[in-house]
Amino acid sequence: MMDFLNYSQLPFIMFSILAIQAMSLQLILGGTGLLSLGHAAFYTVGGYTSAMFTVFIAPLIGIHDTTLLLICACLIGMTGAAFTGLLVAIPCLKLRGDYLAMATLGVGEIVATVFKNLDFVGGTRGFKDIPKLGSPLLIFSIMLVVCFFIIRFYKTNLGYAVRATRDDEISARSLGINIYKTKLISFLIGSSLAGLAGVFYAHTLQFISPDEAGFYNSVVLVLAVVIGGMYSVMGSIFGAFIIVIIPEILRFIPQLINPYLIFMSEKGFLLPSLIPVIDSILSNRTLIFSVLVVIIMLLNPKGVASLFERINKMRKTNE
Amino acid sequence: MNNNILSISNVTVKFGGLVALNNFHINVRQGGISGVIGPNGAGKTTVFNIITGVYRPNSGSVKVNDKELIGIPTHVIAHHKVARTFQNIRLFANMSVCENIMSGACIKREGTFLSSLFMLPNSYKKEKELWKKANKLLEFCGLEKYKDSPAISLPYGMQRKLEIARSLMTDPSLLLLDEPAAGMNPTEKLALQELVKRISEQKISVLLIEHDMRFVMNLCENITVLNYGSVIAEGPPEIIQTNHEVIEAYLGSDIEDDFNIKETLNASR
């Protein structure tokens, strides 16, 4: 039992962190309708700035209390990410749709290159020996707070303005909504929340590498949002859950299926030479995962959130 | 001090070599219903676009409540109590009917972000009032039963009404309706006519663009006729109906019946 607890700790932390990131992207992608393909950049910036603070600056000022240190790290990481978000948003938000996606795609690579060339944070080898702060439960509760914050956000005037801008810019403007300002605010909030996730990532793994800002991580985030359903906050959490948990579950699949394969080959349904081939396919977790994602998207293009809606509708018609 | 809520004078709009509006002028009385008619491409929608600041005219002035609007961006013009609907319906497709109407209240909730985020009592009270108003508008436009359904699932006529309800939520004193009756059947048109009448009874001035002559003639107290960007006639419906230039501009289309040409010809004999 202890083994399982120890093992499940890391996936749990990764799930919470990915969920915070996915929700912060949901605000930008599903909420405001801006396809940002460089969201991982903000999270890397958040991680790096807070780590620089806790490693270099905090001992100089003399902050040793871990709680205070964590709060300061969070604030600094969020400010750093928000500042980067502002730098990106001011020129990029004039672009629309695909063009914005292309512009933000560059941002991730720029951030990665910048940190690769900063020698005092480890360069290409990554930033090591960051002090350990925060516990899994803390991160999970922060995730819940972020979730509650975003749900409340959609109910405020800004939330309505953001969603109106997503659906129709021209009529949003005619209702008195300043579109550029609205997009800017949502981008700022989104990037600073991503920075918060980065802070926890850096301080629980005690390591952060410049490759985190790359294209792959940004795409995983988009995937988490889309799997869960673009317009639902809970959906993003579920998307993050699927992305973290399913590869972990797939670890056990080859062991589970192997006895049946041997049984089938004994009965003569299967050539014995095929067993290693199937084994190797099943143990390629990335492949299986990718196929699963394709199947999920085919079955349910609107994401998991639409599944709940459909069930509700069915219940209503039955009544 | 005149009692015109909207007065446009000497407005000229050019797109390259094309003159979309030439020396256009119109006055809308406080609480009155006025109409702009004209053949397709006459520049009717351009009139709305210069009032709401989408285009900037080359010359002239647009005054709402004696305030000059030219040069002010669109989203600020909404603060001057001007609301509009669109020729091709522009609803917030992924939001429910309620949310569509509530997003019309964005101006009024400005500056309450933090207090409504934490549900502080004063903003809670304000929001409750706004919801009450939204519900009243739902009832006013006959949309109660669609309350929670997504906006795109509504039938066409209802979508039009929802767009009107959304623009009424901004508490306008001037409402611009761009072809509100387009694509509606006669019953829906009659219902819409009643709705527009009731709106103007609430001291909201209405300026509308419409192709359906019966609709315009029944509603408007003042009509401006545009052709190729110039005003060719203006005045109450009875005068417009007998104006030869107007009939000429519309000849070739099947509008003649609506103009009751026979009657006018008989009268002239």
Same domain assignment for residues B55 and B178: yes
Model confidence at A254, pLDDT cuts 50, 70, 90, reads confident
Q: In this structure, is residue B257 part of a structural domain?
A: no
* Rounded Cα distance, A229 and A223, in Å: 10
What's the DSSP call for residue B251? Answer: B
Q: How many domains does chain B have?
A: 2
Any chain B CB within 8 A of the CB of A174?
yes
B264: in domain: no
ipTM over 0.90: no
Structure-token pair, residue B40: 């397709």
- Residues with pLDDT less than 50, chain B: 1
Residue of B nearest to A180 (CA): B75
**pLDDT value for B1:** 44
B63 and B189 both lie in a single domain = yes
Contact flag B95-A167 (C-beta cutoff 8 Å): yes
Residues B59 and B103 in one domain: no
User: Is the predicted pLDDT of residue A314 greater than 80, yes or no?
Assistant: no
**Contact across the interface for A171 and B78, Cβ inside 8 Å:** no
B87 touches chain A (CB under 8 A): no
pLDDT for B264 equals 53
Nearest to B74 among A164, A173, A231 (CB): A173
| Contact call for A164 and B103, based on CB within 8 A | yes
**Amino acid code (one letter) for B102:** M
Crossing angle for the helix pair A179-205 and A2-26, nearest 10 degrees? 160
- Whether residue A175 lies within 8 A of chain B, CB to CB, comes out as yes
Residues B104 and A201: beta-carbon distance below 8 Å: no
- Chain A residues with beta carbon closer than 8 angstroms to that of B90: 168, 170-171
pLDDT tens for each residue of A115-169: 999 988 888 888 988 888 888 999 999 999 999 999 999 999 899 999 999 999 9
Q: Tell me: the pLDDT tens digits for A167-202?
A: 999 999 999 999 999 999 999 999 999 999 999 999
Cα angle B130, B133, B139 (rounded to 5 degrees) comes to 145
A156 touches chain B (CB under 8 A): yes
| Residues spanned by the domain of B145 | 94-171
Query: Are residue B60 and residue B167 in the same domain, yes or no?
Result: no
pLDDT tens-digit readout, B205-256: 999 998 888 888 889 999 999 888 888 888 898 888 888 888 777 765 555 5
Does B67 map to a domain?
A: yes
Sheet order of strands, B82-84 included: B82-84, B174-178, B205-209, B33-37, B222-227, B230-235
B219 in a structural domain: yes
> What mean pLDDT is predicted for residues A213-230?
88
Q: Which residues of A touch B118 (CB under 8 A)?
A: 152
B113 and B215, same domain (yes or no): no
